[in-house]
Structure 1
Amino acid sequence: MSAVFDSLPSLPSAATAASSAVIPITDATPKSASARCSNCAMRAVCMPADLTMSELTQLDSLIYSTRAVKRGETLYRRNDDFRSLYAVRTGSFKTVITDRDGGEQVTAFHLVGETLGLDGVCSGHYHSDAIALEDSSACIIPFRLLEGMCRQVPAMQHHVHRMMSTEIVRESAIMMLLGARTAEQRLAAFLLNLSTRMKLRGYSASEFYLRMTREEMGSYLGMKLETVSRMFSKFQRDGIVDTHGKQIRIVDFKRLEQV
């Protein structure tokens, strides 16, 4: 899919801190009243569920702007100074690392409600490029203000801990998937993971549109494009999934889980 924060003085209020501590971002736009965390349909996915109204107001002041990113453009780049985390508000993103020879490796796909930028906490610089898979937007979460709110609101601190723990678990799962699974098993696990995440967001768990290309899936799963296409064809022949371009319908969950 977190207790490594330095201590900061308590903030007098989120509004005061927002005016003095946030570094301006020129391509960010303030949230409208209808786009605040307190009334966002995805709040339960990316924020603690048990915040009080007062804490939600503080959160609205902290996460005060969003950034729109066109398909193929970057939200942030490797080695950019780390200042903020980002929560996907609309659309989806991939994170990519590039080796010294220019080869790219997709490290994750991020859906609505998921957080990007955690890789910048340890060194003060992002370690990957975050690229929009479609026209998307992300809520900007200034990290210094988040640290202060974590000191004031235990539920928020626990939530950030869970985010970082989830990232560790995700990376461990990917290592196991790439190191000890067949191509068929890798693709099955990928589709089941997407299904679970779609269901969590209130979408269909059995039918969804893949925003990433098969080449990007192959990069993420350690497979060649031809192998990804061959596995999709096999699943279709076996009556496990039905594919029409990027539109996927899982026909037989039990058999996909058995794979």
Structure 2
Amino acid sequence: MLDLEIHDRLRIRKGQVLYRQGDALTSVYAIRSGTMKSHTSTEDGRVHVTGFHLQGDVIGLDSLDERRHASDATALEDTDVCVLPMDNLALMAARTPSLQNQLLRMTSREVKKDHAMMLTLGSMNAEERLAAFLLSMSERLSARGYSGSEFYLRMTREDIGNHLGIKLETVSRLLSKLMDQKLIHVRYRYVKLLDLAGLKALSQYRGEADRRMFAIVPACDCPEQDR
């Protein structure tokens, strides 16, 4: 957890962009409530969804080396974020070795997540990728005190497919297949996992190393500021 004095909170409306790829890195952000996605764009207009971020995640850490944001961050629902100014972080990290270690661990987790996604995309077929994604969401929500067996997906099926390297129609077809196999139940964006063991066997999902992988930070008590 980050032991920081946080001064500002922003409300990001659904569909609104918090920062854009290439923007100067002035702050990182702790998600107090809500859900966001990060996505990159290539020069020819192709978009890739690089991650989904939940309550307690800190976003923007992937930009520390270049000091410019490596992706866009867009709210998937109305989202509150706490602002962690880089100048304050740098000053406090220099004075507090424990905070410096926390930041290094959190940055390391970002690298590990990237490597895990590369492994997932490179070694699994489409059905295995989707099953692993559902299990990962289940585990992340459970780590935050929510139900890991019944939840709403705040992202679209198109976003999920883009993130996993699967076509939209394939995502829909595979969700129906998993329902036919009595592994899940889906209604619109509501998902109920009926057979966790079966999903794990299908995807060979090993789960996150432990809950510390999620870099959860406590809810922050900071004054609200409209964006």
If the TM-score is normalised by the length of the shorter chain, which range does it land in?
0.7 to 0.9
Q: Write the distance in 1 (CA, Å) between the matches of 2:114 and 2:153.
A: 21
Given candidates 165, 171, 174, the residue that maps to 1:231 is: 174
Aligned residues, how many?
Answer: 202
Moved over 6 A (4+): none
Q: One-letter code of the match for 1:124?
A: R
Contact 2:62 2:110 (C-alpha < 8 Å) held by counterparts: no
**1:44-55 residue pairs with structure 2 within 5 A?**
47-48=1-2
Q: CA deviation at 1:153?
A: 2.6
Q: What is the CA RMSD across the aligned residues, in angstroms? A: 1.0
Given candidates 116, 125, 130, the residue that maps to 1:173 is: 116
Contact 2:29 2:82 (C-alpha < 8 Å) held by counterparts: yes
Given candidates 108, 113, 129, the residue that maps to 2:51 is: 108
Q: Write the distance in 2 (CA, Å) between the matches of 1:118 and 1:174.
A: 17
> Gapped runs of 5+ residues in structure 2?
203-227
Q: One-letter code of the match for 1:149?
A: M
Tell me whether 1:128 sits opposite 2:74 in the alignment: no
**1:115-194 residue pairs with structure 2 within 5 A?**
115-194=58-137
Aligned to 1:220: 163
Aligned to 1:91: 34
Q: One-letter code of the match for 1:97?
A: T
> Gapped runs of 5+ residues in structure 1?
1-46, 49-55
SS in structure 2 opposite 1:235?
A: helix
Tell me whether 1:246 sits opposite 2:168 in the alignment: no
Q: One-letter code of the match for 1:234?
A: K
Identity of aligned residues (%): 42
Larger Rg computed on CA atoms:
1
RCO (CA 8 Å, sep 6+): is it higher in 1 or 2? Answer: 2
Contact 2:185 2:193 (C-alpha < 8 Å) held by counterparts: yes
Tell me whether 1:204 sits opposite 2:147 in the alignment: yes
SS in structure 1 opposite 2:186?
A: strand
Tell me whether 1:74 sits opposite 2:32 in the alignment: no
**1:15-54 residue pairs with structure 2 within 5 A?**
47-48=1-2
Q: Write the distance in 1 (CA, Å) between the matches of 2:147 and 2:65.
A: 36
Q: Could you list the per-position Cα deviations for residues 147-181 of structure 1 after superposition, in whole angstroms to 9, with x for gaps in the alignment? A: 22223333322221111111011000110111111
